[in-house]
Amino acid sequence: MAPSRDYDEDENIDFSDLVEQFEVRLDEGLDKFVVVDGCPIVTDEQKPKLIKVLCKRLGEAGRINVDGIFMPVDDATGKTSGYCFLEYDTPEQALAACKRLNGLPLDKKHTLWINKLTDIEQYGREGRIQEEFVPPPEKQFEEQEHLRSWLSDPQARDQFAMYRGDHVGVFWNKKKDAPEPAVDREHWTESFIQWSPQGTFLTSIHAQGVQLWGGPSWKRIRRFAHPAVNLVDFSPNEGYLVTWSHRPIQIPEILPPNFPLSADEDGKNFIIWDVKTGKVVRSFASIDEPETPGPEKGRKKIQWPSFKWSSDDKYVARCVPGQAIQVYETPSMTLLGKKSIKIEGVVDFEWQPAIPTTGKGKPQTEQLFAYWTPEMNNQTARAGLMSIPSKEIVRTRNLVNVSDCKLHWQNGGKYLCVKVDRHTKTKKSNYTSLEFFRVTEKDIPVEIVELKQVVVNFAWEPKGDRFVFITIDEAIAGAAVAPKTNIHFYAPEKTKSGAIGEFSCVKIVEKKNHNAIYWSPRGRIVVVATVHSQQSFDLDFYDFDFEGEKQKQEHAAPGKELAANLLLMATGEHYGVTDVEWDPTGRYVATSASAWKQQSENGYHLFDFKGAVLREEPIDRFKQFLWRPRPPSLLSKEEMKKIRKNLREYSKVFDEEDELEATMANKEVVEYRMRLLTEWRNWRERVTEELMIDREAYGWKPPVEEEPIEDGEVVEEIVEEVIMETEEEVE
């Protein structure tokens, strides 16, 4: 028998906590009641009117028992106390009212707060609330890690993140040598990784939500619980984060403790978060788009990012296709002017990525976005620019025969290129025209470059006035090979006044397979590449400002000179390349073959900006290569100029450092090899000796010593060759 002990029945065990926890809550009939707080304080005469208003507003959630409304009146003042009790028909309706109508603005001054009566009972019961206010203990200030510490690397090296197999690591770029790991963790993310736009945070994606990591110790900075999250996007200044899941969020009726989301998020797909606090700013449901017919049926395509941010994080907007653009103001996240901007037919819009600082027109003070609408109801298609917050349309342009448009802003916000894909009247053939809006000039003039072919890719020089685009030859029906592409290089004409002249073609490279354009973030150098292709995988490095011999500009108008001296510097190749990315300083180009897109020979190559291969590293199950972005420079224009002027001196220092490192590394290698060699020789000596002893013990003779064959053995080879065979008939 197990040892037992007689318990004293009278022993005072305090199990009130258990009683409370497991107490069966009887239906008190009070579940139908809610408490409405924040009502206006009115006199007895005004009371019926208020009750009527309340019934109307709160009747949304269910039927209110009008007789059951109790609004106490303070005897001393003769006025109501600013709250009342309501009874709904069913407890479900009462619950719905709490979920949906809590925080309802009644008018400018009053917001209604609705709680279940039983909740007030449960949480506000005596003893639960301390009568006296006790200030929460002030937390000791904790020094946080510097989130931008990587920028203070003495050698100004850049970092990059790699996701391969199940490992995510951040590495320092060491050019030719193996990258130096800053951190490397297994199962850091469940689907992919992403840097924040200024490089402060590394984002990992999990079934439960999104996490941000950073600082020198790579600790978790923030977590955002969004179940089944699919995609994330940051605002340009990292102030906000947008998460999206294809599954609408389901909030359980009874919230578990510490549940990060509130009833507001029920049924929503998007959540906008404040990165600094980690709190939900607002959530949105997806806009139901008509399903696309054809093979994609049933699978809705999401346009990402769905919520687009103005360059100053001040506005965030999304497009309701065909109807309107909804512009929300931060931090309140309310619709600008409480209304969405109706633009009939609108397909897409794009914020100006920055407000240009130079220009002859009057300085721009508001944010701009570009949008376009297709042909409809006897109206031509149209591209326009709208200024926010004034909602003024500053420029529109009518377009005809439009099949599709793409909006390409130059990243300084100076130009907008609308790539208009058009069809002939018979709709038999397609072509493209490029419409350039010069935003900084007076009245925003538009310049047109018309082409006979379809443009498949377009890219502005970052912060520059030049661009590259790719046109595609018409596909030959039934041909097995993909149609060839042509690369067009454009630059403005030089003018005497120094203003930006008309855009003109610098060069056309024909009959290529290239399909992607990657400009250096510093401009000048552009890589044109063939990605996602089984047959070709070449990369061409072009320099727009070659400093040597002047190249011929055969396409320039007579007597005009273009602001470019284009030269093909180098060609490289990377089998199966799927992604090309410049480092944020424009010094290196990383090309990667991701296992997500193709299976063989995954890994990355590193090129310098001149197109010379620095490093090739094949890695199994390689998925992502992402350079860590850098925030904008803190140096003023003058300081930059000064550095550029004294560049030679700086580079001397860096060259010396490089050299020193190389010799150091060399020395290390030599020492390492020396050690290996000595170890090996010692081991051999020991083993040979042991073997000799063993041999004697076994009574084996030493093996037949291989007589050293000096000068090699002479092998005599007799070759008989029949030179001629004749047959003669002898009589």
The amino acid occupying position 139 is: K
By the rule CB under 8 A, 665 interacts with other proteins: no
Sequence-ordered strand ranges (E) for 56-116: 73-74, 79-80, 83-87, 104-105, 111-116
By the rule CB under 8 A, 698 interacts with other proteins: yes
Among all chains, which residue has been given the structure tokens 């992919």?
A: 192
The amino acid occupying position 501 is: G
In the complex, what is the shortest distance from the CB of residue 621 to other proteins, in angstroms, rounded to a whole number?
A: 13
The amino acid occupying position 257 is: P
In the complex, what is the shortest distance from the CB of residue 615 to other proteins, in angstroms, rounded to a whole number?
A: 15
Q: Which one, of 544, 545, 615, lies nearest residue 574 by Cα?
A: 615
In the complex, what is the shortest distance from the CB of residue 673 to other proteins, in angstroms, rounded to a whole number?
A: 5
Cβ proximity to other proteins: between 392 and 694 the closer is: 694
CA distance 274 to 280: 6
In the complex, what is the shortest distance from the CB of residue 592 to other proteins, in angstroms, rounded to a whole number?
A: 16
> CB–CB of 417/460 below 8 Å?
yes
In the complex, what is the shortest distance from the CB of residue 674 to other proteins, in angstroms, rounded to a whole number?
A: 5
CA distance 80 to 144: 50
String of contacts with other proteins for each residue 340-379, x by CB under 8 A: ----------------------------------------
By the rule CB under 8 A, 682 interacts with other proteins: no
In the complex, what is the shortest distance from the CB of residue 617 to other proteins, in angstroms, rounded to a whole number?
A: 10
Cβ proximity to other proteins: between 143 and 706 the closer is: 706
Cβ proximity to other proteins: between 404 and 573 the closer is: 573
Binding segment toward other proteins, per CB under 8 A, in 119-127, 346-354, 438-446, 667-675: 667-675
By the rule CB under 8 A, 534 interacts with other proteins: yes
Residue among 70, 123, 259, 700 that touches other proteins (CB under 8 A): 700
CA distance 168 to 472: 38
Maximum C-alpha span of the chain: 158
In the complex, what is the shortest distance from the CB of residue 600 to other proteins, in angstroms, rounded to a whole number?
A: 5
Residue among 601, 613, 615, 621 that touches other proteins (CB under 8 A): 601
In the complex, what is the shortest distance from the CB of residue 520 to other proteins, in angstroms, rounded to a whole number?
A: 29
Tokens of 48: 């019926």
Tokens of 198: 């200024």
Torsion of CA 200, 194, 571, 505, to 10 degrees: -80
String of contacts with other proteins for each residue 707-726, x by CB under 8 A: --x--xx-x-x---------
Cβ proximity to other proteins: between 12 and 600 the closer is: 600
In the complex, what is the shortest distance from the CB of residue 720 to other proteins, in angstroms, rounded to a whole number?
A: 12
In the complex, what is the shortest distance from the CB of residue 482 to other proteins, in angstroms, rounded to a whole number?
A: 16
CA distance 621 to 603: 8
Return the residues of window 611-630 that contact other proteins according to CB under 8 A: 618
By the rule CB under 8 A, 696 interacts with other proteins: no
Tell me the β-bridge partners of 582.
589
Who contacts 189 (Cβ-Cβ below 8 Å, separation ≥6)?
A: 163, 168, 204, 205, 206
By the rule CB under 8 A, 676 interacts with other proteins: yes
Q: Which one, of 426, 449, 433, lies nearest residue 399 by Cα?
A: 433
Tokens of 376: 């409809």
Residue among 323, 575, 596, 597 that touches other proteins (CB under 8 A): 575
Binding segment toward other proteins, per CB under 8 A, in 14-22, 125-133, 415-423, 671-679: 671-679
> CB–CB of 600/576 below 8 Å?
yes
Cβ proximity to other proteins: between 713 and 729 the closer is: 713
Residue among 706, 728, 729, 731 that touches other proteins (CB under 8 A): 706
Q: Which one, of 388, 395, 383, 444, lies nearest residue 415 by Cα?
A: 444
In the complex, what is the shortest distance from the CB of residue 470 to other proteins, in angstroms, rounded to a whole number?
A: 24
In the complex, what is the shortest distance from the CB of residue 633 to other proteins, in angstroms, rounded to a whole number?
A: 40
By the rule CB under 8 A, 670 interacts with other proteins: yes
In the complex, what is the shortest distance from the CB of residue 178 to other proteins, in angstroms, rounded to a whole number?
A: 13
Give the binding-site size for other proteins (rule: CB under 8 A): 28
Residue among 448, 475, 640, 691 that touches other proteins (CB under 8 A): 691
CA distance 280 to 272: 6
Cβ proximity to other proteins: between 159 and 533 the closer is: 533
In the complex, what is the shortest distance from the CB of residue 517 to other proteins, in angstroms, rounded to a whole number?
A: 25
Cβ proximity to other proteins: between 369 and 537 the closer is: 537
**Three-class secondary structure of residue 351 per DSSP:** strand
By the rule CB under 8 A, 175 interacts with other proteins: no
Q: Sheet harboring 231-234: ordered strands across?
A: 231-234, 240-244, 270-274, 280-284
Kindly write down the DSSP assignment for every residue of 611-673, as one continuous string: S-EEEEEE-TTEEEEEEPP-PPP---HHHHHHHHHTHHHHHHHHHHHHHHHHHHHHHHHHHHH
CA distance 560 to 491: 12
Binding segment toward other proteins, per CB under 8 A, in 110-118, 308-316, 666-674, 722-730: 666-674
Residue among 60, 119, 510, 694 that touches other proteins (CB under 8 A): 694
By the rule CB under 8 A, 680 interacts with other proteins: yes
> CB–CB of 442/477 below 8 Å?
no
**Three-class secondary structure of residue 92 per DSSP:** helix
> CB–CB of 567/543 below 8 Å?
yes
Positions in the binding site for other proteins (CB under 8 A)? 534, 575-576, 599-601, 618, 670, 673-674, 676-677, 680, 683, 687-688, 691, 694-695, 698, 700, 703, 706, 709, 712-713, 715, 717
